[in-house]
Amino acid sequence: MPYNILVTGGAGYLGSTMVPELLAAGHKVTVLDNFMFRQNSLAHVCYHPDFNVVKGDIRIESTMLSLMKRSDIIIPLAALVGAPLCNLDPVGATTTNHDAVLMMLKNLSKEQMVLMPTTNSAYGTGDENNFCTEESPLRPISNYAKEKVEIEKALMEHPNAISFRLATVFGMSPRMRTDLLVNDFTYRAVHDRFVVLFESHFKRNYIHVRDVARVFLHALENHKKMKGQIYNVGLSDANVSKKELCMTIQKHAPDFTFIEAPVGKDPDQRNYIVSNKKIEAVGFKPVFSLEDGIRELLKGYIMIKNSVYSNV
């Protein structure tokens, strides 16, 4: 069934991969974005008759209301993403990531669906075994993660909401981010050929940007059985440490060297192993492996050598 879908922040890292897939599936898609990175990452879908784009700010209630009233589904991707960017502009982060989303939720009807990415960074350091399911206590470390936790609580009060706690995303996108961990380390493997690791044993889970698009499409097709739930979304075979990640990159970039720092702390203290069994139980399985992403990034970075594709 085709839907009218509003994607806020649809020209960002996730959205510029997801929007073409939504259009290909037969949906009508409107993107609201402020284009703060001056990107033209949706230029390749402007030909599509079911694509519409609006330049604007999700914090302006009148802008949101006029677009929401014509939408069956809202996919709120617009955000200042990641702790470093939020620390640079804490007021902008709170008004965008927290206040604007609460305003959107307040104005949603009960019939409208909302599919939202949150983050599994809220797990912080996990339990005594660093193992996390959707039922695990949340121990967010950064303000970014703390506000995502608050928003998720409000989100789950809506009867037609789904929250996706995304693992750390990787892979090439038309609006590229080189500051995400896999993307960053692979970039360094290509252009610096080395990286220094602090607390190299810290583990995280990962997911390809195209599998993020796929899980949203899966939710549209299976909304009745998935609504009202929170799902971890990651690769079950990619709960890996920073050292293990570097070793995997090294297999495809033999000149890459990594050094484990004997002293010092990583400012990002996340360390957890995540279960993705719940999303797998409703029929979703990622198709892009960690090594698939590394191979494509190695090709992509032949074309990229600057910092304009990073959020900070």
pLDDT band at 309 (very low <50, low <70, confident <90, very high): low
Mean pLDDT of all residues in 30-58: 97
pLDDT for 130 beyond 90? no
Q: Tell me the pTM.
A: 0.94
Packed helices 209-221 and 15-24: angle between N→C axes, nearest 10 degrees? 40
Could you read off the pLDDT of 108-127 as tens digits, one per residue? 999 999 999 998 888 987 55
Residue pair 79/9 in contact (Cβ under 8 Å)? The answer is yes
Averaged confidence pLDDT in the chain: 94
What confidence tier does 132 reach under pLDDT thresholds 50, 70, 90? very high
CB 176 within 8 A of CB 37: no
Q: For strand 239-241 and strand 203-208, is the pairing parallel, antiparallel, or unpaired?
A: antiparallel
Report the distance separating Cα 33 and Cα 79, nearest Å: 10
For tokens 């809506």, name the residue: 158
Tens digits of residue pLDDT in 140-153: 888 888 899 999 99
CA distance 148 to 170: 20
Residue 170 three-state SS: strand
Residue 18: closest CA among 228, 295, 233, 184: 233
Task: Give domain limits for the chain.
Answer: 4-170+206-233
**Greater confidence, 58 or 312?**
58
Q: Which pLDDT score, from 0 to 100, does residue 76 have?
A: 98
Give the rounded distance of the alpha carbon of 11 from its chain centre: 13
Predicted pLDDT of residue 312:
62
* Residue 122 confidence (pLDDT): 86
So what's the pLDDT on residue 307? 61
Q: What is the CATH number of domain 4-170+206-233?
A: 3.40.50.720
